[in-house]
A and B are shown apart, each in its own frame.
Chain A
Amino acid sequence: MELVIDRLSKQYGSKIAVDRISAKLGKGVYGLLGANGAGKTTLMRMICGILKPTSGSVSFDGIDSEEEDFRAILGYLPQDFGYYPDFNAYDFLFYLSSLKAIPKKEAKAKINELLEVVGLREVAKKKIKTYSGGMKQRLGIAQALLNDPKLLILDEPTAGLDPKERVRFRNLIEKLGKDCIVLLSTHIVSDIEHISDEVLIMKDGSFIFQGKWNDKESSLEDFYLSQFEEGEDSE
């Protein structure tokens, strides 16, 4: 199981949002750290195949990100998502199941299981417009898992979660990381410190650090901040 990112770039006019990023990711949890505007979302969208890169490619076990087979093993949680009016959690998940080509009977079992996992079973029949931010986020996580993805891309998944939900989420991600490739982005260092196997720090479209984080030397937070101070000094 391997995700190969090969010299991926995205350019808008003269602005380079993602600058020739390459990486090979195997099973495990990868934390993508970076300030807003560093290019994290753009990178994630290209990995998902939602955004066409200017150059470079992404493939999972040889399957290119533009192919249907790639999307079949993909689970994506965008930073922000909506819902069709009057949908409740069930409607939402059944709808996305139909788009993920999951037959109804199978979808039903999976949906009930996932609602239990994210703790939305009791409110599943209520309309999404009544949900809190944290609840909606948990629903987003559930939909990403509908098709038993091998590649999970989560963009700021912990935003809006309260501490208890955060812990639950971390446990879930830890478990998932054993059997799939999880890439999650955040600008909250403590999230990553606890669950990632490897850390990827992004700045101005490139990776300035990529690898395992060795806790003994210094805290990730200090290192992270220092990178940004350095950047400012050089300007």
Chain B
Amino acid sequence: MLDLRDHYDKIYRFCFYKLFDKDLAEDITQETFLKYLEHYDFSSKTETLKYLYTIAGNLCIDEFRKKKPESEENIPELIFEDNTVEKMSIRNAILRLSGDERELLLLRYANEVNVNVIAKIKNISRFSVRRKLLLAKKHLEEELRKEDAYE
């Protein structure tokens, strides 16, 4: 059963970490759900999730084409309301990862999406998903070490 409220938050988070604009992210989230309405008769949760994330992803790409976002290094910390030191360093490290790796980490750990579902969304094997996740974590660790090095 699709929990609307829960998935609103998750899709919103997904879009936010692509566009870094909360109003835009929310608009795209709503648009994703409206499109979902048109085709909602999915029998399985997996299919529904795949649809939601794919549509949201495509809509975000369309936004990119409309205007180039600020390069990620310049994202003002002001848009994040909770800025403990620890969170900031992981977040900075995450922001330095590639968009794909960041997306993967968000899907798996922040949105708690099943590996099977991620595989369906990205159209790759479960094995590839796990491998890429490991790589992403490794890169994150490297970036974190770089953070420490500056301090």
Contact = CB atoms under 8 A, between A and B. Distances in A.
A142 B43 CA distance: 21
Interface in B25-79: 43-45
A88 to B, nearest CB: 23
Contact of B44 (A72, A105, A147, A148): A105
A27 to B, nearest CB: 14
Contacts of B85: none
Contacts of A147: 1
A72 B43 contact: no
Interface residues of A, number: 10
SS of B interface (majority): loop
Interface string B120-145: 00000000000000000000000000
Interface string B1-23: 10100000000000000000000
Interface in A67-124: 72, 101-106, 109
Contacts of B3: 148
Nearest to B42: A103
B43 A105 contact: yes
Nearest to B2: A106
A102 B44 contact: no
A102 B43 contact: no
Contacts of A148: 1, 3
Report which residue of A101, A102, A105, A147 has the largest number of chain B beta carbons within 10 angstroms of its beta carbon.
A105
Residue among B1, B3, B43, B44 facing the most chain A CB atoms (10 A cut-off): B1
Contacts of B45: 106
A131 B3 CA distance: 34
Contacts of A102: 1
A109 B1 contact: no
B41 to A, nearest CB: 8
A103 B47 CA distance: 13
Interface in A55-74: 72
Contacts of A105: 43-44
Contacts of B44: 105-106, 109
B44 to A, nearest CB: 6
A61 B19 CA distance: 29
Given A102-B1, A106-B44, A148-B3, 12 more contacts: A72-B1, A101-B1, A103-B43, A104-B43, A105-B43, A105-B44, A106-B1, A106-B43, A106-B45, A109-B44, A147-B1, A148-B1
11 contacts: A72-B1, A101-B1, A102-B1, A103-B43, A104-B43, A105-B43, A105-B44, A106-B1, A106-B43, A106-B44, A148-B1
Interface of B: 1, 3, 43-45
Sort A-B residue pairs by CB-CB distance and give the 7 closest, nearest first.
A105-B43, A103-B43, A105-B44, A106-B44, A147-B1, A102-B1, A106-B45
